[in-house]
Structure formats: C-alpha cells, structure tokens
Chain A
Amino acid sequence: MSKIGLIIGREYFTRVKKKSFLITTILVPAVIIAFYAVIIAIGAKGSTEKQKIAVVDQSGLLADSKAANNKDYTIIKNESETSFVKKYQAQGYEAFLYIPKVNLDTPHGIVLHSESTVSFATTEAIRNIIDQNIEAKRLSASGIDPAKYQQIKSDVKIETTIDTKDGGKKGNIYVAYGVSYGCGILIYMMMIIYGTQVMRGVTEEKTNRIAEVVVSSVKPFELMMGKIIGIGAVGLTQFAIWILLIFGISQVFPMLAPDTTILSGIMQGLSSLPVGRIILYFLVYFVGGYLTYASLFAAVGSVVSEDQQEAQQLMFPILMPIILGFVIMSKAVNDPNSSLAVFGSLFPLTSPIVMMGRITYSIPVWQVATSMLLLVACFLLLTWLTGKIYRTGILMYGKKPSWKEMMKWAFRSNT
C-alpha cells in the first residue's frame, strides 16, 4: 500500500534530515564513553581523602606495627575512651578509633567515633589494617613464620578460552560482561527514547487536528503503523551508524595506540565473542521490543491532550516493565542461567532487555525460539488492542478517558 509508505517516508525523513539527529547520533555515544571514562578514572584513582584519625590502642595492635607510622593515624597515649571522646574533635581529628584490651581469639569492642558518617572506604581500610595485625599476631602465637604463610597462601588466576571451530581464542570475561551490559542499557534507552517519540508524534497529530484531515484518506491503523515503523527505521539507522563507527574506530585505534596491553586484551576479548550472533539478536530484540512498546506509547499519545502531566501519568505503567526488565538484566549479567534470568528473557515485556544480559553466554536454542515467538505474539496482540484505543482516542477531544473507558475501546468489536 503506497499510502503507508508515504507516511513511513515522512516520519523517517523529517527526523533523519534534522541536524539534531546527526548531533545526537555522534554525541550520545561520545557522552556515554566520556561518562564511563570518568567513572573508571575516579574508581582507579581510589579515595584521595586524608583523614586524620586519632587512635587509642590499649591492646597494642597498631602501636607496634608499620601501620601506625601511616600519617593518617596518630597514636594517642595516656587517654581512655571516655576521656578522649570529648577532646578529639577539638584537637583537629576527624575520627577517633578506640581499641580496648582484646582477646586475640575473639576481638570485639573496637569502636570508631566520628562527628559524621565515616566513608565505607575508610572503615574498610581500618578493618584491613586491624585484620592484618591480628592475623600476624595469631601467626606468631601459633609459631608460624609469616614468610612461610605467604608462600602457602594461594592466588590463582584462571584464563578463559572460548573454543570455536577455528580453534581457541583467548576470552575476556570482563569484555563479555561489558558487552552484555552495554547492549542491555542500549536497548533500554532506545525503547524509552523512541517510544516517547512515537507518543509525542501521535499527540501532535491529535492536538493539531492533523489526524482529522488525514484519517479520511488513510486508515487510522495505517497512520499509527506508519509512524511506528518510520520512527523505528530512524532507530535502526542510528544503530547502523554506530556499528560502522565502532568498526571504523576498532580498525583505526590499534594504529594510533599500538600495543597497549589493556586495549589488546579488550580487542582479543571482543574478537572471542560471537559478534555476528550478538548483532543479530540485538537487532531482532530491538525491533521486537520497540514494536511492542511503541504501540503502547502510541495509545497513550492518542488519549492525552496537550497536557504533558497526563502523558506522564499514563506512561508510568508502561515504564514499569521496562525498568523491571532493566533490573532483571543487571542480575542476568552475573548469573545468566538463573531461573529469574530465564523467566525475564522469556516474558515478552522484559525479554528484549533481559536477553541482552545473556547475549554473550550460550543460550539454549529453545529459550531463544520461545522468547522470540512470545515477543512476536505479544507485539501482534498489543498492536491489535492499542490500535483500537488509538482509533478512538485520536479523534476525541477534551477530558482524558478513564482506564475503564480505554479498556472498553480496546476490547469492543470493530465499529
């Protein structure tokens, strides 16, 4: 049908031709990469805060160890907990660590006083130091040479190899993890961004009375599907550009920064992944998930008027399963074959996102097949129901219909 083609064309070209499309296509990944780079940089640097901590040590745990020389800690002599607790702030200490006389076998009663909550990193650091000291004391009490103990302690690293027909490749679980997580986030964001675009477009057609002019020459359903498909095509175009960019960068980057170990590790990890399968699944689930949710967003767009608040209210129940999918996905990345992950990747409202969390691991074929079938079935059912809400809603003005009314529109027979 040429008219639906016309509508798709309009939706597609008016968006792709905009400057903002090019800008967001290039800028969004740049911003995301910068964002993660900053997070990683901060994480790697660790905490730089230098807290001054006063220590009253009645067991001599810190007093006779190297840790005591650390400039963060100052050993206070001739004070008790009760006497010093009133003074440490005045003397310029931010925290006050009190170690009573403890039994090495059951050390407790150690208290850290401070004027405000002490950071997790600080308590962890203090705990580590005390643990080390107690361990050392226990070792010497049992007559074990600490050097010997270090020899006995084991710290094994496991290399992963993924075996394919072409022979084994060195894998990198962190890269696999990152790719899964990244795909999940991407689908999650894209569904919300493009879904809202569909909703806004529908509301625009409704409030500007365009629907009234156009509906006499095309069926409302064609108008809705034309918009959904056109906007979806914009999303796919964006992906295509991104994939080309990534491919281009991965070709150019090694030349610019040759032989960085981390980078080559990442490259190696990437090449060990089933890239073709990942891209295929990603596209299938993006299209399926987008179509499923877009029809819901279109229905919301058709019942609200200019009032953005109404739209927000109605969007909430649609966003719920998307957010739920995101939460399950974050679990599934760690444990891809748990029953929650399997359920999430079969249930059609969450499967597009959750399946991404499992994408780099091997997934049983029956699960993929069932999940895709359910997704398609869900899309068809929802589009059929929302199409009817849309058809009524887009030509109604005034008050926002109640849920009951909308259900009535969705389930009544054709009029």
Chain B
Amino acid sequence: MNLLEVKNVKKYFATQKAVDDISFTIEKGSIFGLLGPNGAGKTSLLRMITGIFYQDSGEINFQGKPFRALEDAGNIGYMPEERGLYKKMKIGEQAIYLARLKGLSKTQATEKVKEWFAKFEMQSWWNKKVEDLSKGMSQKLQFVTTVLHEPSLIILDEPFSGLDPVNANLIKDEIFKLAKNGSTIIFSTHRMEQVEEICDHIILLNKGKKILDGTIKSVKQEFKENIYELGAATLAEHLMTHIFEVVKHQPDRILLKLMYDTTPNDVLQYFLHKNVAINSFNEVMPSLNDIFIRLVEGTDAARQFQQIS
C-alpha cells in the first residue's frame, strides 16, 4: 500500500519553476531518499508534503485520501535542517509543548518525552535550555521531537549534519527501527554514502523535474557501465585485444570496460588462454555519487532565475 502519492505536482514562484510536474509514490514502511543538487526543488516539495504551502496544481494523497495539513499533522513529523527549537525554553517543557501541538495529551506527551529521553540518555538535559546544547546535541533533541508522536510519515532533512559517528549511528538505528515498526521515512540529503546505506527507494530532482526514480539496486543496474575488476598481475602485451578497453591498470589489478557484445566469460577465457593467474573477478557497480554527478553534471552549477509567464 502506498502511504503517499504525489501526482503531477507543480509549484511556480515568481522567478522559478520550483517544482515542475513531479509524480512519485512512497510505499508504507519504506525509507525513501529525496536527492538533488542545491535548488533542485527538494525543500519546496517537502513543504507541500508537510502542508506549509499548497501546490499550484496536482494532487498529494496521504494514506489514500487527499492530504489535509491540519488533520494529518499528527501523522507527520518534520525535521528541518538544523534548528527548529526555541533557544531559551527549557528542553523538557519544549519537547512536551511540541508533542502537544501535534495532538498528544499532556500525560501522553510527558510519558513519551521521558521514554525517549531515557532511550537517548538525555534525562539530565530536562531543565537545561537549548542554547546550552552543542549543535549535535540539539540535533538529537530535534530528532526526538520529530518522532515523539509516532507519526506514520517522518521527514528528515539532513538529519546527520553535525553528529559524531556514535550519535549518527544511534539515530540511524532508530530510523531503521521506526521503519520496521511501520513508519515511512523521507530522507532528504546530499550525502550519497548515507543514502546507499539507508534508503530503499530514491528519486533524484534537478531543476524542479524528476530525473531518476527507482530502488537503489535498479538505479545502479540501469547506470552500470560494464566495468569489471580483475585481480591479476598483467603485462601490457596481454591487453592487446578488441573485446575490452582498459580503464585503469595497476600492478596487481586492472579495471576493464567490456565491449558491447562481450560477456564476462569471454574475458575470463581470454586471460586463462594467456596463462594469467586470476585472483578475483567482479563487476564494478557505479556509486550513487557517480550517478548523481553524471546526471547533474553539465547542468549549471547554480540554478538560474528565469521568467515564468
């Protein structure tokens, strides 16, 4: 079942087509990566999904019904990149206040806050103020306030920025746990290595349009370049052939790009025939980072302003 369906959504501003006809669906319980360079329209898209503003046209369906920000607020948790907290308010009170705004009763909210604070070892923070916290600590607090009311959709914008590896892992584990318990997570970031690790499904935006949509596996499959790594000591005279091209030659390994109709078996046979001792042979998949750069490269580094008629 799809938790969220976005259909032909458009949002134009005075000088930008911020979101230009984007459609996608998110399955319940999945971790969904929303990627794109700066200014691609990620934030605009998220703001429509969180009900901060409305799309110019198109539909957003949440749990099978048209999305209504105020009614669905209790089911959504949004964590903006950094900040999002009152600096001068006591931490315990603040967490309870934010939870109550999301529709929890006072006792429920207090209970939940205590539970999460215990889980993240934050009990001693209760009477401190946010301004006393380091960047990483407030990021942790913010994560707690985002997921506290057990929303069915959790939207995280760069949740790991400013976190040390220990705390980043803590939050990563919580994200997996939340997904396993049925929450759906939208994860917006530029950090591709995190996406590969965490996400099931990604879409890539550029200049307000969707340019890629699929699971990590299928995307990699789609963008693989028939490159294989052979672990073997080879000499230059071994490589005079038309069945592959050498991408990179090192003393103990070699990267090969196979010609269009060559199979891996052909390559192995070729080297066996040359009496080369083979230690390993495997396909090299492109990293998401490479795919991202390849797709976005060539477009302007900074998005230009344009006239919208």
A interface vs B, CB < 8 Å?
A: 3, 6-7, 10, 14, 204-205, 207-210, 212-219, 395, 415
A204-B86, A217-B70, A217-B74 given; A212·B52 CB < 8 A: yes
Residue in A204, A207, A208 whose Cβ sees the most chain B Cβ within 10 Å: A208
Nearest residue, chain A, Cβ from B130: A208
Closest to B149 in A: A217
Q: How far is the CA of A218 from the CA of B73 in the complex (A)?
A: 8
Cα-based distance from A219 to B97 in the complex (angstroms)? 16
Task: Determine whether the beta carbon of B78 is less than 8 Å from that of A216.
Answer: yes
Q: Is the CB of B83 within 8 A of A217?
A: no
Apart from A213-B78, A217-B73: 12 A-B pairs, beta carbons within 8 A: A3-B101, A7-B101, A14-B89, A14-B93, A207-B83, A208-B84, A209-B82, A212-B52, A212-B80, A214-B98, A217-B70, A218-B73
Q: In the complex, what residues of B have CB within 8 A of residue A217's CB?
A: 70, 73-74, 101-103
B198 beta carbon closer than 8 Å to chain A: no
Q: How far is the CA of A208 from the CA of B102 in the complex (A)?
A: 19
**Interface membership of chain B positions 54-90, coded 1 if the CB is closer than 8 angstroms to chain A and 0 otherwise:** 1000000000000001100110101110111111110
A223 → B minimal CB distance (Å): 10
Q: How far is the CA of A179 from the CA of B104 in the complex (A)?
A: 49
Closest to B82 in A: A209
Q: Is B100 an interface position by the 8 A CB rule?
A: yes
Out of A6, A7, A210, A395, name the residue touching B85 (CB < 8 Å). Answer: A210
Could you list 5 examples of A-B contacts with CB < 8 Å?
A: A6-B97, A204-B86, A209-B80, A212-B84, A213-B146
Minimal Cβ-Cβ distance residue in A for B87: A208
| B interface residues, Cβ below 8 angstroms from A | 47, 50-54, 69-70, 73-74, 76, 78-80, 82-89, 93, 97-98, 100-103, 145-146
Q: Tell whether, in the assembled complex, residue A216 and residue B80 are in contact, meaning their CB atoms are under 8 Å apart.
A: no
Q: Are A6 and B84 in contact (CB under 8 A)?
A: no
**A216:B50 contact, CB within 8 angstroms:** yes
With A and B bound together, what is the CA distance between A207 and B76 in angstroms? 22
* Complexed CA–CA distance, A208 and B83 (Å): 5
Q: Which 9 A-B pairs have the closest CB atoms?
A: A217-B73, A209-B80, A209-B83, A209-B84, A216-B50, A216-B51, A208-B83, A213-B84, A217-B101
User: Chain A contacts of B97 at CB under 8 A?
Assistant: 6, 10
Task: Check B84–A216 contact: CB distance below 8 A.
Answer: no
Q: Which chain B positions have C-beta within 8 A of A214?
A: 98, 101
How far apart sit A217 and B54, CA to CA, in the bound complex (Å)?
Answer: 15
- From residue B197, how far is it (CB to closest CB) to chain A in Å? 26
Chain A nearest CB from B90 CB (Å) reads 8
A-B Cβ contacts below 8 A, count: 66
Chain A nearest CB, measured from B99 CB (Å) = 10
Closest B residue, CB atoms, query A217: B73
- Tell whether, in the assembled complex, residue B98 and residue A213 are in contact, meaning their CB atoms are under 8 Å apart: yes
Q: How distant is the Cα of A33 from the Cα of B78 in the complex, in angstroms?
A: 50
B47, B54, B76, B86 — which one has the most chain A CB atoms within 10 A of its CB?
A: B86
CB contacts (< 8 Å) of A207 on chain B: these are: 83
Smallest distance from the beta carbon of A219 to chain B beta carbons, Å?
Answer: 7
**How far apart are the CA atoms of A14 and B89 in the complex, in Å?**
7
Chain B positions within 8 Å of A3 at CB level: 101
CA distance A209 to B52 in the complex (A): 12
- Complex interface: chain A residues within 8 A of B103 (CB): 217
Give the residues in chain B near A205, CB-CB below 8 Å.
Answer: 86
Kindly report which residue of chain B lies nearest to residue A415, judged by CB atoms.
B54
- Shortest CB distance A18–B (Å): 9
**With A and B bound together, what is the CA distance between A216 and B82 in angstroms?**
18
A219 touches B70 (CB 8 A): yes
Contacts of B145 in A (CB 8 A): 213
Bound: A210/B100 CA distance, A = 15
A210–B86 CB distance below 8 A: yes
Q: Is A215 touching B52 in the complex (CB atoms < 8 A)?
A: yes
Set of chain B residues within 8 Å of A215, measured between Cβ atoms: 51-52
Q: Which residue of B lies closest to A394 (CB)?
A: B52
**A7–B97 alpha-carbon span in the complex (Å):** 9
- In the assembly, what is the distance between CA of A93 and CA of B74, in Å? 84
Nearest chain A CB to B98 CB, angstrom units: 7
CB-CB < 8 A to B86: which residues of A?
A: 14, 204-205, 208, 210
Write out the residue numbers on chain A whose beta carbons fall within 8 Å of the beta carbon of B84.
208-210, 212-213
Which residues on B sit within 8 Å (CB–CB) of A210? 83-86
B101 touches A6 (CB 8 A): yes
Complex Cα spacing A290 to B70, Å: 29
- CB neighbours of B98 from chain A (8 A): 213-214
In angstroms, Cα B3 to Cα A241, docked, is 54
Chain B contacts for A212, CB-based, 8 A: 47, 50, 52, 78, 80, 84
Docked complex Cα distance between A116 and B164 (Å): 71
B87 partner residues in chain A, CB cutoff 8 A: 204, 208
Bound state CA distance, A215 and B53, in angstroms?
A: 10
* Cα of A7 to Cα of B86 in the assembled complex, Å: 13
* B54, B76, B93: the one within 8 Å of A216 (CB): B76
B4 to chain A minimum Cβ distance, whole angstroms, is: 14
What residue in chain B is nearest A13 (Cβ atoms)?
B93
Question: Please, which residue of chain A has its CB at the minimum distance from the CB of B155?
Answer: A216
Nearest opposing residue in chain B for A395, CB measure: B52
Inter-chain CA distance A218–B85, complex, in Å, is 16
Quick one: which of A7, A204, A208, A216 contacts B73, CB cutoff 8 A? A216
Residue of A nearest to B103 (CB): A217
Q: Are A216 and B69 in contact (CB under 8 A)?
A: yes
> Given A3-B101, A213-B98, A217-B101, A395 and B89 touching (CB < 8 A)?
no
A415 vs B13: C-alpha distance in the bound complex, in angstroms? 13
Q: State the Cβ distance, A289 to closest chain B Cβ, in Å.
A: 27
A212 to B73, CA, bound (A): 12
Q: Which residues of A contact B100 (CB under 8 A)?
A: 6
